[in-house]
Amino acid sequence: MQINLTGHHVDITDSLRNYVNEKMEKLERHFDKVSNTHVILSVDKNEQKAEATVHMSGNDIFAEAHEADMYASIDAMVAKLDRQVKKHKEKITNHLHHKNVPTPTPEIED
């Protein structure tokens, strides 16, 4: 998975970059069809904001979180993305499962 990390009014330090990479690996464990992710970290006055767009097969998902601490906002954002990825994966597996189930044919008795 390719992760593009951008900072608005904040310097992206190595520790922030490593933290985001570590947290985003969690998504890839749940759904391996993630192609790339764009994460934007920004600071507005006293509010730290993290937002991400995840491109995966069949869908793009977006999440954002606002917290007082940047690390907390990254955690909240990843938690939102994780829920959405799990929901997307369940939807795909349910649709694929229902396609392969043979429909029962009614038995005609003489």
Walk me through the domains of the chain, giving residue ranges and CATH numbers. Answer: 2-100 (3.30.160.100)
Residue 101 binned pLDDT confidence (cut-offs 50, 70, 90): low
Q: Model confidence over 37-48: pLDDT tens digits?
A: 899 999 988 899
Q: For 9-23, 64-78, 96-110, which range has the lowest pLDDT when averaged over its residues?
A: 96-110
pLDDT digits (tens, 9 = 90+) for 7-24: 999 999 999 999 999 988
Q: Give the per-residue SS3 of 54-103.
A: EEECCEEEEEEEEECCHHHHHHHHHHHHHHHHHHHHHHHHHHHHHHHCCC
Q: What is the CA radius of gyration of the chain?
A: 19
What is the pTM for the complete model shown?
0.78
